[in-house]
Structure 1
Amino acid sequence: MKRFLSRLVLAAVAFALAAAGAFAWWANQPLTLRSSPLEVIIKPNSSVPSVARQVARGGVPIDARLFVLLARLTGNHASLKAGGYQFESGVTPLQVIGRIARGEVNHHVLTVIEGWEFRRMRAAVDAHPALRHDTKGMSEAELLKAIGATEPSAEGLFFPDTYLFARGSSDVELYKHAYRAMQRRLNEAWNARSPDLPYKTPYEALIMASIVEKETGQAAERPMIAAVFINRLRKNMMLQTDPTVIYGIGEMFDGNLRKRDLQADTPYNTYTRTGLPPTPIALPGVASLAAATTPAPTDALYFVARGDGTSHFSNSLPEHNRAVDQYQRGK
C-alpha cells in the first residue's frame, strides 16, 4: 500500500509539473493575430473574465479560461485597466496581460450607457482625466452651439457607445463624435421606418425611442412597448408613462413616485398632457431606435409588469384591469 501511495504521489507531482510546463509554454507562445496591428478595447469596470472575453472577441486568439488563470497567477487580476490597446502578431499571452495591467493604452476610452440622461454623460465626460475639458463652464446651449447642434435640448442627442480618444483630446470632439453617431443611427432608423407612423420628424421618433429605452430592459419587448405608445398616439390617448414624469421632476426625484407627482402638470407629465414630451428623456440605443420606427404589429394599448421582468399586453381597458389585478394586486 505504501508503495502504491508513493507511486500515486509521484504521478500526481509529475502531472502537476507537466501541466505547469504546458501552461508556461502557452503563456509565452507567440500568437498570430487575424490582423496586425490589432486594436482591442477594454471597457471600464470590466471583471477579469470580461476582459478575457473582450480580448478574445477583439481578435487575439487566447483561451479565456487560461487568460483568467494567468491573470491571477501573475497577480494582475486586480490591476487590469480600461482603454484601447494595440497588439501585433508575435505578442504572447503574458505580454498581453502585462500591457493591460500596466495600462499601456494606445487610446483612452469612455463608455456612454444606453438609458443615461445627458447630465450623467456630461458628468462622466467632465470626470475623465485623459480629456481636455474645453466645455467646462459652458451652458448646455453653448455646448450645443460648439458641436453644431440645432436641437432645443442636449437630451437624447448622443449615441451610447464606447468612444476611443488620445490623451489630451478635447471633450468637444468627443461630443461631436457622439452627436454625429446618433444622427447617423437615427437617420438609418428613420429611412427604414414603417409606414403611417404618427411622427412628423425624426426628432419625434428620437423622443419615442428614449421613452422605450427607459420603459423596459427587455430587448425583445421593445417593439411591443413602442407599439403600445404609438397606438395611443394615434388615438390621441395620453401615454401615461412614469419615466417621463420622473424626468420632469429631475434631480428632486427621491426614488418614490407619488400620486401627487402624477397629478402635478409639467411639460413631461404624460398623465396630464397628450402627445409626446417636448424632448427625449434619455440616450436611446440602436434597439430602441429600431423599435420606435418599426414597432410590432399589434392593437395593444396597455401593458403591465408581470413581476418577472416581462410585461402583459392588453388591447382593452377591462383586459388590462384584470391583468393588473393578477400581476400587481395578487388577486
Structure 2
Amino acid sequence: MEGPEPEQPIKVDSDVGATIARALSLATLVAVLGLLAVLGWLFIVYPDSRGPSGYVEEVVIEVSEGMTLRKLAHRLESEGVLENPRVWSLYMRMRGLDRHLRQGKVRFRVPMSPEEVARYATTRLGRIQIRLLIPEGFSRFEIAARLDEYGVCDAEEFLDATEDAAILASYGVEANDAEGYLFPDTYEFDDQTKPRRVVERMLANWTRRNEELEKKYADKLAKLKSWTTHDIVTLASIVEKEAAVPAERPRIAGVFWNRLNSKRFLPRRRLQADPTVQYGCMAVPEAAPSCARFDGRITRAMLDDADNPYNTYRHSGLPPGPISNPGAASLAAVIDPEEHDFFYFVARGGGEHHFSKTLRQHNIAVRRNGQR
C-alpha cells in the first residue's frame, strides 16, 4: 500500500521578492536622504536665518536657576526674539546646549539669528559681545552698577580698578580715582571682561577726546593757566549734572564761573550745587552724619552739613574732585562758557532753567516754580 505524497514547498516568485526588496531599499534611501536634508537644513541653513524684527532693539530676560530650555524658548518667542521655539529647542538639544543655559539677566538684540540667540543663551559657545551706553553724567558708582547688570564685570572689582594707582598714572590722571575720566560713550565689551581692561578702555577714550579739545580750544586754555586739567574736569562734572538741556551747558558753566570769580556773590566762591552734596553722600557717607539715611534725595540737614567735604554750600571753591564723568560738551562749556551776569538758576520744567542776576529775582523765580 502506497503512503501519502510528501507536501511540496511553496515557491515564491523571485521577481515579486526582488521588487519588495528594491522598494524597501528605496524607502530606506529616501528616509535617509530626507533625514540628511532635515539635519542639513537644521545645522547649515537654520542657524544663520534671519530672526523676527520687532519694535524694540533689545529684550532682557531673567534666566533663573532651573529654568528649562522649553520655557526659555517660549519666552523668547513671546518677546519677539524667536519665531519657532520648537525648532530652536531641537537645534539646542542636538548640539548638547540645553543643559548649559546662561543665568541671570541675559540681553538679546533684535533681530538675531537662531545661532546668535543660542550664543547668548548658553555658556558653551564662548563669550558674547555686549554693547552698552555709559551716559554723560554717570558717576563711577553708576557705571559699576551698569557694567555688573550687563554682565561685563563685577561692580566692586571695577571700582577697585578705578582706584588702581598704576592704571591712573599710565594715563596721566593725577587723582585718587578715575572719577571724571571714564569717558561717557557707547562701548562694546565681551562678557566677563577684566575690570582693569574696562577702565583702560574708558581712560584711553577720555585721553583721545581731551586731546581733541585741547587742540580746538588752545587759545582759551592758555588763559586758564592757574587751572589744572583736574580742575576743569571737576567743574565740568558739576555742569554735566546740572544741565539737562544741552543748550544750557555754556550758560550754567558761566554761572559757576561768575560765582567763583565775582565779589558780588556771597558767600564768596561758593558753587552751591546740589549734585555735589549728593555725591559726597555716595562717595564718603561715613564722613557726614547727615548722609546716614541718604536715599538719593537731598535734605536741609545735608545742605547744612559741613562735614561733607563735597558740600559746596558749606565749602568754597571746587569740591575735592569730579562728581561725575562729563562728556565733551560739558568740558567745552567750562573752557568756553557763555559770558553773562547771571548768578542763579532754578528748574522751571522740561529740563530747562530760569536764570537770574540778583538774589531777589531768584527768590521770585523759586516761588513761581514751586522750588524750595
TM-score normalized with structure 2 length: 0.58
Distance, in Å, in 2 between the alignment partners of 1:99 and 1:292 is 48
Check whether the contact 1:312–1:323 (CA below 8 A) recurs between aligned residues: yes
Cα separation, partners in 2 of 1:76 and 1:284, compared to 1, 3 Å = same
Matched, 1:179 2:211: no
Amino acid at match of 2:80: H
Q: Unmatched 5+ residue regions in structure 2? A: 1-52, 59-76, 83-105, 121-126, 263-267, 286-290
Distance 1:82 1:245 in 2: 38
Tell whether 2:254 aligns with 1:254: no
* Conserved? CA contact 1:126–1:136, under 8 Å: no
For 2:334 and 2:54, the matched residues in 1 are separated by 36
Partner of 1:117: 139
Equivalent runs, 1:104-143 vs 2, <5 Å: 107-126=129-148, 128-129=150-151, 136=157, 139=160, 143=164
Partner residue of 2:183 out of 151, 155, 159 = 159
Greater C-alpha Rg: 2
How far 1:264 sits from its partner (Å)? Answer: 0.7
State the shift of 1:277 in Å: 0.6
Structure 1, residues 212-247: CA drift from partner, whole Å, max 9, x if none? 111122111111111111111112431101000111
Structure 2 partner of 1:321: 363
Q: Taking structure 1 as reference, are residues 106 and 280 closer, same or farther at Cα in structure 2, changes over 3 Å only?
A: same
Deviates more, 1:265-274 or 1:161-170: 161-170
Shift of the alpha carbon at 1:304? Answer: 1.0
Q: Matched residue pairs, number?
A: 254
The answer (yes or no) to whether the contact 1:135–1:172 under 8 Å persists in 2 is no
Paired position in structure 2 for 1:31: none
Alignment of structure 1 residues 1-331 onto 2, 5 Å: 48-51=54-57, 77-78=80-81, 81=107, 98=114, 101-102=117-118, 107-126=129-148, 128-129=150-151, 136=157, 139=160, 143-146=164-167, 148=170, 149-166=173-190, 169-193=193-217, 194=220, 196-197=223-224, 200-235=227-262, 236-250=268-282, 252=291, 253-265=294-306, 266-328=308-370
Q: Which has the larger displacement, 255-264 or 96-105?
A: 96-105
**Aligned-residue offset at 1:284:** 1.3
Per the alignment, do residues 124 and 143 of structure 1 end up closer, same or farther by CA in structure 2, a change over 3 Å counting?
A: farther
Inter-partner Cα distance in structure 1 for 2:371 and 2:182: 39
Rounded to whole Å, the distance in 2 between the matches of 1:258 and 1:167 is 39
Q: CA deviation at 1:128?
A: 4.8
Q: RMSD of aligned C-alpha atoms?
A: 3.6
Q: How far apart are 1:260 and its partner, in Å?
A: 1.6
How far apart in 2 are the matches of 1:293 and 1:100? 45
3-state DSSP class of the match of 1:260?
Answer: helix
Contact preservation (8 Å) 1:144, 1:150: no
Give distance in 2, aligned partners of 1:144 and 1:51: 38
C-alpha contact (below 8 Å) 2:164/2:177 kept by paired residues: no
CA contact (8 A) 1:125 1:171 kept: no
Distance in 1, matches of 2:160 and 2:366, equals 44
1:263–1:272 Cα contact (<8 Å) kept = yes
SS of 1:136 mapped into structure 2: helix
Output the CA distance in 2 between the equivalents of 1:112 and 1:177.
Answer: 12
Distance 1:127 1:75, change over 3 A: closer
The answer (yes or no) to whether the contact 1:81–1:102 under 8 Å persists in 2 is: no
Residue identity opposite 2:177 in structure 1: S
Deviation at 1:98, TM superposition (A): 4.9
Checking the alignment, whether the CA contact within 8 Å between 2:245 and 2:351 is kept in structure 1 is: yes
Question: Would you say the 8 A contact 1:304–1:312 is kept in 2?
Answer: yes
Q: CA offsets per residue over residues 254-275 of structure 1, 9 Å max, x none? A: 2332222111112211111111
- Counterparts of 1:175 and 1:141 in 2: how far apart (Å)? 6
Secondary structure of residue in 1 paired with 2:164: helix
Distance 1:317 1:174 in 2: 45
Q: Map Cα deviations across residues 178-226 of structure 1 (whole Å, 9 max, x no partner).
A: 0111122233334434364586111111111111111122111111111
Q: How far 1:154 sits from its partner (Å)?
A: 2.3
What's the CA shift string for 1:164-187, capped at 9, x where partnerless? 234564331221010111122233
